[in-house]
Structure 1
Amino acid sequence: MIRRLRNKFIRIATLSVAAVMLMLTLILNVANVISTDSDLRQTLDMIYENEGTIPQTRTLGAPPNPQTGESAPAPRPDKDGPFNQETPFSTRFFVLRYQDDGTLDNADLNRIAAVNSDTVDEYLAVALTHGEGYGIYKTYRYVVHSTRENRKIAIFLDSYQQLRTIRNVLLWSLAADAACILLVFLLVVVFSRRAIDPVVQSAQRQKQFITDAGHELKTPITVISTSLRVLEMEVGKQKWIDKAQAQTEKLTALVNSLVTLSRMDEEESPLKMSPFPISEAVTQTAESFRDFAAERGLGLHVSAAPALTYCGDEYAVRQLVSILMDNAVKYAAAQSDIAVTLEKARHGVRLAVSNACEPITEKDLTRMFDRFYRVDPSRNAATGGFGIGLSIARSIAEGHKGSITADYKDGRICISALLK
């Protein structure tokens, strides 16, 4: 249990940090893309508003002061967006002017090196297909506008550096995420023992208490049981002695179950793993309940894949089958049948026991394997159950690196254990 708790703490802490960092990365990269695209659109709009050129003054097209002959003051980044005095010299673009029927009137290629008269038809076709508005083609951000009747202008802006920056920011941010998540994982692994130490100490004290109490109770229970047998020999059979003896046997079973659960929760598993013929073990154990089932008017059908071998604790697996069979026989609907199947799974084997029963809620299914939980307390009292058997079954399944689940469908409950 301690190992599972620690592993769960590590997973939750690491996944939480990973989710936050990935969300932050997503927000930053989306903001970067939106900001970059906004700058490119502003540049395209500015070129269009200046009839296919980029002015070299701060006011983007305003001539020098006619009285002083001085140019407008230098641009300020907080006022002029992505533009500055170097923008006319660093921006690469080309302009196509054409008619609606596709006739090219003019191609201004003076500010681009990657496009010439031989390849301009490709970009003209893109503009004609797209129509008015903004678009992206290869490494170009472009816009198409109508200038007058049957005339259009298409401006293609080279965005290679911007796209490269976006890609690099994404890659570096993902790399930083991976490095930080790995670092967090290592730190959580190192300090996880200290973080869960209070819980571990509490669990250890609880297990020690159960173990000590179990051993302490065994002696008086044995004395009581022996005394009752001696008393019965002296006074003969009496219903009061029989009832006391039955309760003593129930106490013995409860103490043994609690000690078993405590041992299963230890960090070092008490299970002894070795290969054994699981088909034979399951079949023999299930068949031993045939007479018990027949007394209650129940049929039993056992179907185990032949010659299956499994590496696990044979005694624990037999105990698992016994718990599931005992549970099925006690709570199966009258005049119904119990089906036991064993089959090879993708990883390991799958054992399933199903029987007809009264309707079970989803809440009961999820809590069925909790200790001392009873779906119907009155029925459990009548059958002598403690609500602890399925908890032991879960511990056995998890001890074999597997899991156990319960499913209710069409009036039948199926408890399935996967042993890996």
Structure 2
Amino acid sequence: MIRALRRRFLLIAMASLAGTLTLLCLAINLGYRHMLTQRADAAVEMLHQTGGAFQIPDAPVDPAAHGGFQVTPETPFETRYFIVHLTENREVTEVDAEHIAALDRQMVVEWVGNILDGGKHSGYTSYYRYGVFAEPDGGTTIVVLDCFLQLQGAGGVLRISLLAAGVCLLTVFLLLLLLSRRVTRPFVENLERQRQFVTDASHELKTPLAIISANTGLLSASLGENQWLESTRAQVGRLDRLIQNLIELARTEEALPDEAAAPVPLGRVAERALEDFRPLAEAAGKTLDGRIEPELVLPGVEDNLARLCALLLDNAVKYCDEGGAIRLTLARRGRWAVLSVSNPCAGLDAAQLPRLFDRFYRADSSRARSSGGYGIGLSTARAIVARHHGRLTARLSGGTVTFTAVLPLFSRPPERFLHR
């Protein structure tokens, strides 16, 4: 559970940071690209209005004055562009290509054809920004500006921002990995105190219950049997079983030390549980069968896994519809063992599924009480699965509820556990 909590904490924190950095990178790069496009459009507009020449300002320009396009004495020499004039019938009448060296007249005419075929008033074609302007005489003027250096700069900003975001993600991940244990420590300590309290309280309750049980026996011997003594004896037995279940739940929620894990032949464990519960199911007018893959060995505690099978089968027998069929399956799925127990349960609502693993929750309290249930069996089953680094889920389909435990297998099971 603690490992799952740390993983969930890391996942949420990294997902939040990744989303924030993604939005930041998008804002920076889209904003920078928009700014470059606005400057290019301003330059194209100026060239159209001035007939293909930049007007040099008399006063010196300040680069920090504003972010728009500004003309300096060097602008005519560092800006590459060409201008084409066309008639109303799209015939080229004049080409001004003196300010660009990469294209000759024939290539300029081809570029103009591509621009006109696009049908747009402005846009990019390759790394050129163009503007199409309608003239009063019905003709058209096309101004095309070379933006290679600007777009190359935008690409550099994109690469730098992505690299910076990646470094930030890696740095924060390493820091969280180191600090997550400290962040989750209060929760771990609180959980340990709760477990210790349940264990201590359960043990403390055993003594007065034993005294009450002994006194009830003495009263029964001296006064004879009556309904009050019988009721007291029944409630003492019920409390004793509840205490045992609480102690079991507290123990199964403890982390499983590596040295305590041993190879467990889950197939044989499931077979024994199936044989033990088949008479109980038949006595209740229900059928129980299974399909078990035998050679599945996983690391864990055999008693815990036997208890897991017993809890799932006990739950199925108690809550299966009258005359229903209970089915247990165990199969391999890649590196995982998948243990499923299903039974028809028409009275179960799908909205109740998330709460079935809550402690003391009973979907049908009247049936649970009549069958002796306390509402912590599935909580214990989930704790056992979590202790073995797996997951337990519930699914309702067509009136049939299925509990599925997915547990990690050995990558290479020891030979002595396969053929003994």
Quick check: TM above 0.5?
yes
Residues 1:288 and 2:279 aligned together: no
Q: Tell me if structure 1 keeps the 8 A contact 2:274–2:289.
A: no
Residues 1:2 and 2:2 aligned together: yes
Cα displacement (A) at 1:166: 1.5
- 238-247 vs 91-100, which moves further: 238-247
- 267-276 vs 373-382, which moves further: 267-276
| Matched AA of 1:7 | R
- 204-213 vs 112-121, which moves further: 112-121
Alpha-carbon separation, structure 1, partners of 2:405 and 2:67: 68
Shift of the 313–54 alpha-carbon distance from structure 1 to 2, 3 Å rule, reads farther
> Match for residue 252 of structure 1?
240
Helix, strand or coil at the partner of 1:288: helix
> Match for residue 81 of structure 1?
68
Residues 1:365 and 2:364 aligned together: no
| Matched AA of 1:336 | G
| Matched AA of 1:212 | D
Cα displacement (A) at 1:13: 2.7
Alpha-carbon separation, structure 1, partners of 2:171 and 2:178: 11
Helix, strand or coil at the partner of 1:10: helix
Mapping for residues 47-196 of structure 1, pairs under 5 Å: 47-51=47-51, 53-58=52-57, 72-75=58-61, 78=65, 81-85=68-72, 86-99=74-87, 103-117=91-105, 119-147=107-135, 151-196=139-184
User: Which TM-score applies when normalising by structure 1?
Assistant: 0.86
- Equivalenced residues, count: 406
Q: Deviations over 1:339-374 (max 9, x none)?
A: 212221133011111111134334311111111222
Helix, strand or coil at the partner of 1:196: helix
Q: Deviations over 1:24-80 (max 9, x none)?
A: 2222222222222111111222222223x132233xxxxxxxxxxxxx434466468
Helix, strand or coil at the partner of 2:389: coil
Residue of 200, 209, 219 corresponding to 2:197: 209
Cα displacement (A) at 1:201: 2.5
| Matched AA of 2:295 | A
Alpha-carbon separation, structure 2, partners of 1:348 and 1:235: 60
Q: Tell me if structure 1 keeps the 8 A contact 2:389–2:407.
A: yes
Shift of the 391–96 alpha-carbon distance from structure 1 to 2, 3 Å rule, reads same
Q: Tell me if structure 1 keeps the 8 A contact 2:195–2:250.
A: yes
Cα displacement (A) at 1:14: 3.1
Q: Tell me if structure 2 keeps the 8 A contact 1:131–1:144.
A: no
Helix, strand or coil at the partner of 2:241: helix
Cα displacement (A) at 1:236: 8.2
Shift of the 221–93 alpha-carbon distance from structure 1 to 2, 3 Å rule, reads same
Shift of the 246–40 alpha-carbon distance from structure 1 to 2, 3 Å rule, reads same
Q: Tell me if structure 2 keeps the 8 A contact 1:2–1:266.
A: no
Helix, strand or coil at the partner of 1:407: strand
| Matched AA of 1:294 | E
- How many percent of aligned residue pairs carry the same amino acid? 34
In the alignment, structure 2 segments of 5+ residues that lack a partner are 409-420
Shift of the 54–273 alpha-carbon distance from structure 1 to 2, 3 Å rule, reads farther
| Matched AA of 1:35 | M
Residues 1:380 and 2:388 aligned together: no
* RMSD over aligned Cα atoms: 2.9
Cα displacement (A) at 1:227: 6.8
> Match for residue 67 of structure 1?
none
User: Which TM-score applies when normalising by structure 2?
Assistant: 0.86
> Match for residue 22 of structure 1?
22
Cα displacement (A) at 1:388: 0.7
Q: Deviations over 1:179-217 (max 9, x none)?
A: 222222333333334433333332221111112223333
| Matched AA of 1:34 | H
Helix, strand or coil at the partner of 1:405: strand
Helix, strand or coil at the partner of 2:318: helix
> Match for residue 13 of structure 2?
13
Helix, strand or coil at the partner of 1:370: coil
> Match for residue 418 of structure 2?
none
Alpha-carbon separation, structure 2, partners of 1:288 and 1:234: 40
Q: Tell me if structure 1 keeps the 8 A contact 2:266–2:297.
A: yes
Cα displacement (A) at 1:81: 2.1
Helix, strand or coil at the partner of 2:135: strand
Q: Deviations over 1:67-109 (max 9, x none)?
A: xxxxx43446646821121332221112233457664433322
Q: Tell me if structure 2 keeps the 8 A contact 1:298–1:334.
A: yes
Q: Tell me if structure 2 keeps the 8 A contact 1:263–1:270.
A: no
Q: Tell me if structure 2 keeps the 8 A contact 1:146–1:153.
A: yes
Q: Tell me if structure 2 keeps the 8 A contact 1:3–1:267.
A: no
- 371-380 vs 148-157, which moves further: 148-157
Q: Deviations over 1:267-319 (max 9, x none)?
A: 45489433333223212212321111111111112122343333433322221
Q: Deviations over 1:314-345 (max 9, x none)?
A: 32222111111111110111111112122211
Mapping for residues 225-236 of structure 1, pairs under 5 Å: none
In the alignment, structure 1 segments of 5+ residues that lack a partner are 59-71
Q: Tell me if structure 2 keeps the 8 A contact 1:94–1:108.
A: yes
- 9-18 vs 314-323, which moves further: 9-18
Alpha-carbon separation, structure 2, partners of 1:363 and 1:80: 57
Residue of 310, 334, 337 corresponding to 1:346: 334
Q: Tell me if structure 1 keeps the 8 A contact 2:254–2:387.
A: no
